[in-house]
């Protein structure tokens, strides 16, 4: 049932090209240059969005916030569900509340949606599990179609959830007219390449490269992850993955926040993973990298293919396929998953049964 893989997690990592095809392909029309969503949701029926989720789903929602605001220009608030449900959020009948959940059963997320609904919001679920509680209770469901995910550490559900937000943001941009026809067509074309780009990010050679880095630093006590903009959540997701299965303490920060505190942690033992792929903010990220290096930090750079200029800034470099910034969080998630996987594997941990964790959290 693990199809020749050592663990469900490993199997699910390598299933991502297929999972992403299932999420995207029927909905993105390259010939017409548009997006079609199988939903009754009226794209003009709300003027603000609340995103509510836990754990990895929350980080998918964090990418969603960036995409929805940039592409569809709708203001988005993002909350972890255990906070949202008790903070008496200000909701109106012009609010769209979005739950993000692999299982569709996480109790805090479900209760958050009940809270939003009670205030008059419409509700939408970005959900993987078919027929789950949320799909039955929420007004609308956007299935992510990643297929069953068994590994406790979420991998393919994450990249599929982020892709579902890309679809939603493009669709809203198209329907609400915040994106030109040409811009929609261009991004549809870029997004259709995702299964291929992710397959490329999982090529033997690239996987071996990440394994080497994981083995080199597997004895680290702490790790720091940095990213900016749409890849700030990639850093958070990378840190969460590493904590969950390798039990190494890991923290993530927005790269620009470093000098406001966490820079004090840096010494010559600390591996610092920096997402520094092609972006309009790359130069700023690189100047943060130089701050880390100047203090002896051991920088592991995630760079876009062909970036030879910035190699010198990393002790180690992991290359990923070059792509548009708006779709890069999906490609960049791959080395994060592999780094966590190989670190845990090197330490002899059972990645499918991380201590103290359950696949679905149905108690508060
Ligand atoms: O089923 P959900 O997506 O609602 O689950 C949310 C979190 O419990 C989940 O993402 C958790 O953080 C994973 N173990 C992450 O790998």
Supply the DSSP string of 80-113, one letter for each residue: EHHHHTTS-----TTEEEEEEESSS--HHHHHHH
Q: Which ligand 1 atom is the nearest neighbour of the CA of 157?
A: 3
Cβ–ligand 1 contact at 146 (below 6 Å): no
Q: Supply the pTM of this predicted model.
A: 0.97
pLDDT tens for each residue of 86-132: 999 999 999 999 999 999 999 999 999 999 999 999 999 999 999 99
63 token code pair: 């990418």
Identify the band that residue 45 occupies on the pLDDT scale cut at 50, 70 and 90.
very high
pLDDT tens for each residue of 161-217: 999 999 999 999 999 999 999 999 999 999 999 999 999 999 999 999 999 999 999
First to last CA, the chain: 32
Identify the band that residue 358 occupies on the pLDDT scale cut at 50, 70 and 90.
confident
Active site amino acids: 359
Cβ–ligand 1 contact at 337 (below 6 Å): no
Q: Which of 244, 249, 248, 251 is nearest to 350 (CA)?
A: 244
Best probe residue, ligand 1, of 81, 106, 112, 153 (max atoms within 8 Å of C-beta): 106
Residue 164: the pLDDT is: 98
Best probe residue, ligand 1, of 7, 52, 57, 105 (max atoms within 8 Å of C-beta): 57
Cβ–ligand 1 contact at 102 (below 6 Å): yes
Average pLDDT of span 43-53: 98
Q: Which ligand 1 atom is the nearest neighbour of the CA of 357?
A: 14
Q: Which of 344, 342, 316 is nearest to 248 (CA)?
A: 344
Residues of the chain with pLDDT > 70: what percent? 100
Q: Is the dihedral of CA 140, 144, 147, 152 positive or negative?
A: negative
Beta bridge partners of 271: 298
Is the ipTM above a cut-off of 0.95? yes
Q: Which ligand 1 atom is the nearest neighbour of the CA of 152?
A: 14
Cβ–ligand 1 contact at 15 (below 6 Å): no
């Amino acid at each position: 049932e693990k199809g020749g893989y050592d663990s469900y997690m490993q199997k699910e990592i390598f299933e991502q090209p297929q999972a992403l095809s299932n999420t995207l392909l029927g909905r993105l029309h390259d010939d017409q240059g548009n997006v079609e969503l199988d939903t009754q949701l009226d794209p003009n029926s709300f003027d603000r969005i609340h995103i509510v989720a836990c754990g990895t789903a929350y980080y998918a929602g964090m990418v969603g916030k960036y995409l929805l605001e940039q592409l569809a220009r709708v203001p988005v608030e993002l909350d972890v569900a255990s906070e949202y449900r008790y903070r008496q959020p200000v909701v109106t009948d012009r609010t769209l509340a979005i739950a993000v959940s692999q299982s569709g059963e996480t109790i805090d997320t479900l209760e958050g949606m009940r809270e939003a609904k009670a205030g008059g919001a419409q509700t939408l679920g970005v959900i993987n599990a078919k027929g789950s509680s949320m799909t039955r209770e929420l007004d609308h469901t956007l299935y992510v179609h990643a297929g069953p995910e068994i590994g406790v550490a979420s991998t393919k559900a994450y990249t599929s959830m982020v892709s579902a937000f890309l679809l939603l943001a493009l669709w809203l941009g198209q329907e609400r007219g915040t994106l030109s026809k040409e811009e929609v067509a261009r991004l549809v074309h870029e997004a259709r390449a995702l299964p291929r780009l992710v397959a490329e990010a999982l090529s033997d050679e690239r996987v071996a490269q990440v394994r080497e880095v994981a083995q080199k630093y597997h004895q680290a006590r702490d790790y720091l992850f940095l990213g900016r903009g749409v890849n700030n959540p990639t850093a958070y997701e990378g840190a969460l993955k590493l904590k969950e299965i390798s039990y190494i303490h890991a923290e993530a920060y927005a790269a620009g926040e470093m000098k406001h505190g966490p820079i004090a942690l840096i010494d010559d033992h600390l591996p610092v993973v920096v997402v520094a792929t092609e972006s309009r903010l790359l130069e700023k990220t690189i100047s943060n990298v130089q701050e880390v290096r100047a203090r002896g930090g051991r920088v592991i750079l995630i760079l876009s293919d062909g970036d030879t200029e910035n190699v010198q800034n990393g002790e180690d470099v992991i290359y990923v396929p070059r792509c548009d910034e708006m779709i890069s969080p999906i490609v960049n998630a791959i080395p994060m998953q592999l780094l966590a996987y190989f670190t845990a594997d090197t330490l002899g941990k059972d990645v499918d049964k991380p201590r103290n964790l359950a696949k679905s959290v149905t108690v508060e």
